[in-house]
């Protein structure tokens, strides 16, 4: 992956942490600074018929990243996520269910080991 | 399933506030290409940063726009070990069906937003065979053992396959097409200042 700057680390992030209310924890800024990519979960207010198809795609993304050894974590939660993952034989990834502060989030992200990505050829 | 690319500029979203009650907050929401928040989804060699493409986030945040990330059509279909591709290599019935499935999911979210009066824009990735808004990549001669260097020759005016399917699905649902533009950081002519100005113009309508 010459010239490729990816971090091999992916966080599934509740929409409310991607778009925080005024004064709320800006998870996106922390994730950017720590070198993590984001897979945004559907907004909590979306009805099931809107959220479920989006969660299917989230689960497919998780499948591909985990299959290749990328580190995947969950920040916050989203109803229906566990079911969507289970449909593809995946469990919920390691999670920080309700991060409150920047320090707490940074500590969680920094506690993750650095993964050695596995190519399809290995 | 594809729709011809019109010569006219992108359509402006419907009037704001038509579906919102007094208790609901009308938001401005940018539906963005997956890789703009997650460079891990990029084809090998294409990631420009570890994860979040901050220039886009900065412009959106400064102007009070929320972010809504779309799924990556290529990640789930051809995977992380995919080759770089042009439109002709991806434009199969199976890939169209895959993109239509994503378009249906995203259209549901856009429709829910529009119904409550939110303002919506679409931010794609110029030069992408799937997510290009005004610039995609095309070369009918490509196939077989890869021997083509990445560069400008394949870039051509047009939309990517998912963007085509998304706009077609919105039209089928009677949802007005959002204003749309794209990040240019994969184009050889990329200019960060110009990209920012184009994003601002898109958001300000």
Query: What number of other Cβ atoms are within 10 A of residue B172's Cβ?
Result: 11
CA distance B7 to chain A (A): 31
CA angle, residues B67, B73, B74, in degrees to nearest 5: 125
Residue A3 pLDDT level (bands cut at 50, 70, 90): confident
Element (H, E) at B155: strand B155-157
Q: Which of B39, B46, B52, B186 to mutate to test the interface with A (most CBs of A within 10 A)?
A: B52
Element (H, E) at B67: strand B66-69
Report pLDDT for A2. 65
Q: Are B32 and B39 in contact (CB under 8 A)?
A: no
- Taking residues B149-169, what's their average pLDDT? 92
Burial of A13: CB neighbours in 10 Å, binned 0-12, 13-18, 19+: buried
Q: Nearest-CA neighbor of A58 among B96, B41, B83, B46? A: B41
Report pLDDT for B193. 97
Q: What are the tens digits of pLDDT across the range A33-66?
A: 999 999 999 999 999 999 999 999 999 999 999 9
CB pairs under 8 A between A and B: 123
Q: Is residue A122's pLDDT more than 60? A: no
Please report, in angstroms and rounded to a whole number, the separation of the first and last CA atoms in chain B.
Answer: 28
Q: Is residue B23's pLDDT more than 50? A: no
Q: Is residue A105's pLDDT more than 60? A: yes
Mean pLDDT of chain B: 88
Q: Which residues of B touch A40 (CB under 8 A)?
A: 37, 67-69
Compare all CA atoms of chain A with the CA of B51 and give the residue at the minimum distance. A37
**Which residue among A1, A37, A68 places its CB closest to the CB of B38?**
A37
Q: Nearest-CA neighbor of B40 among B67, B7, B80? A: B80
**Rounded Cα distance, A94 and A5, in Å:** 24
Q: Which residues of A touch B104 (CB under 8 A)?
A: 53
- Taking residues A89-115, what's their average pLDDT? 93
Q: Nearest-CA neighbor of B30 among B147, B137, B179? A: B179
Q: Which residues of B touch A46 (CB under 8 A)?
A: 109, 112
Contact A4 B45 (CB under 8 A): yes
Q: Is residue B203's pLDDT more than 90? A: yes
% of chain B at pLDDT higher than 90: 80
- Taking residues B1-29, what's their average pLDDT? 46
Plot region of A41 (φ>0 → left; ψ -120 to 50 → alpha; else → beta): beta
**Rounded Cα distance, B93 and B95, in Å:** 6
Residue A116 pLDDT level (bands cut at 50, 70, 90): low
Element (H, E) at A110: helix A102-110
Q: Is residue B46's pLDDT more than 70? A: yes
Report pLDDT for A62. 98
ipTM higher than the 0.85 cut = yes
% of chain B at pLDDT higher than 70: 88
**Which residue among B49, B66, B109 places its CB closest to the CB of A54?**
B109
Backbone angles phi, psi at B146, to 5 degrees: -65, 130
Write the CATH number of the domain with boundaries A9-99: 3.40.50
Residue B17 pLDDT level (bands cut at 50, 70, 90): very low
- Beta-strand runs (E) in A35-117: 37-40, 71-75, 95-96
- Taking residues B139-149, what's their average pLDDT? 87
Q: Are B184 and B193 in contact (CB under 8 A)?
A: no
**Strand-strand pairing, B135-137 and B179-183:** unpaired
Total number of residues shown for chain A: 122
Report pLDDT for A113. 73
Chain A residues touching chain B at CB-CB below 8 Å: 1-10, 15, 18-19, 28, 31-32, 35-40, 42-43, 46-47, 49-50, 53-54, 56-58, 60-61, 63-65, 68, 70, 119-121
Contacts of A39 (CB under 8 A, 6+ apart): A10, A11, A12, A13, A58, A61, A62, B34, B37, B38, B69
Q: What are the tens digits of pLDDT across the range B93-125?
A: 999 999 999 999 999 999 999 999 999 999 999
Q: Are B57 and B95 in contact (CB under 8 A)?
A: no
Contact B51 A57 (CB under 8 A): no
Indicate the domain borders of chain B: 28-140+153-204
- Taking residues B36-64, what's their average pLDDT? 95
- Taking residues B54-60, what's their average pLDDT? 96
Report pLDDT for B132. 98
Report pLDDT for B26. 83
Contact B51 A31 (CB under 8 A): yes
Mean pLDDT of chain A: 92
The stretches of chain B forming alpha helices (DSSP H) are 54-62, 73-78, 87-90, 93-115, 161-173, 192-204
Q: Is residue A117's pLDDT more than 80? A: no
Q: Is residue B70's pLDDT more than 50? A: yes
Q: Which residues of B touch A5 (CB under 8 A)?
A: 39, 47-50
Q: Which fold has domain B28-140+153-204?
A: Rossmann fold (3.40.50)
Residue A26 pLDDT level (bands cut at 50, 70, 90): very high
Q: Is residue A120's pLDDT more than 80? A: no
Return the sign of the alpha-carbon dihedral for residues A79, A85, A91, A95: negative
Report pLDDT for B148. 82
Report pLDDT for B22. 39
């Amino acid at each position: 992956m010459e010239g490729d700057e990816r971090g091999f680390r992916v966080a599934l992030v509740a929409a409310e942490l991607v778009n925080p209310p005024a004064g709320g924890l800006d998870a996106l800024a922390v994730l950017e600074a720590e070198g993590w990519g984001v897979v945004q979960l559907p907004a909590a207010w979306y009805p099931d018929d809107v959220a479920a198809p989006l969660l299917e795609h989230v689960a497919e993304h998780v499948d591909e990243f985990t299959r290749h050894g990328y580190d995947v974590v969950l920040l916050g939660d989203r109803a229906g996520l566990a079911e969507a993952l289970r449909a593809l034989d995946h469990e919920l990834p390691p999670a920080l269910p309700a991060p409150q502060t920047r320090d707490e989030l940074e500590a969680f992200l920094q506690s993750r080991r650095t993964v050695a990505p596995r190519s399809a050829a290995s | 399933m594809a729709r011809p690319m019109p010569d006219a500029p992108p359509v402006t979203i419907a009037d704001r506030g038509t579906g919102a009650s007094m208790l609901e907050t009308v938001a401005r929401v940018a539906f963005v290409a997956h890789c703009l928040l997650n460079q891990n989804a990029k084809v090998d060699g294409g990631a420009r940063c570890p994860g979040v493409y901050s220039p886009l986030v900065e412009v959106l945040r400064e102007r009070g726009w929320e972010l809504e990330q779309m799924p990556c059509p290529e990640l789930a279909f051809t995977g992380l070990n995919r080759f770089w591709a042009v439109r002709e290599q991806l434009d199969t019935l199976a890939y169209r069906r895959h993109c239509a499935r994503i378009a249906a999911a995203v259209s549901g979210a856009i429709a829910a937003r529009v119904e409550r009066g939110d303002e919506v824009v679409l931010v794609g990735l110029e030069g992408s065979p799937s997510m290009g808004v005004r610039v995609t990549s095309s070369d009918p001669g490509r196939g077989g053992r890869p021997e083509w260097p990445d560069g400008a020759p394949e870039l051509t005016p047009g939309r990517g396959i998912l963007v085509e399917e998304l706009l077609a699905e919105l039209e089928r649902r009677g949802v007005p097409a959002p204003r749309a533009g794209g990040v240019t950081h994969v184009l050889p002519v990329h200019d960060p200042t110009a990209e920012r100005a184009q994003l601002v113009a898109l958001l300000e309508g």
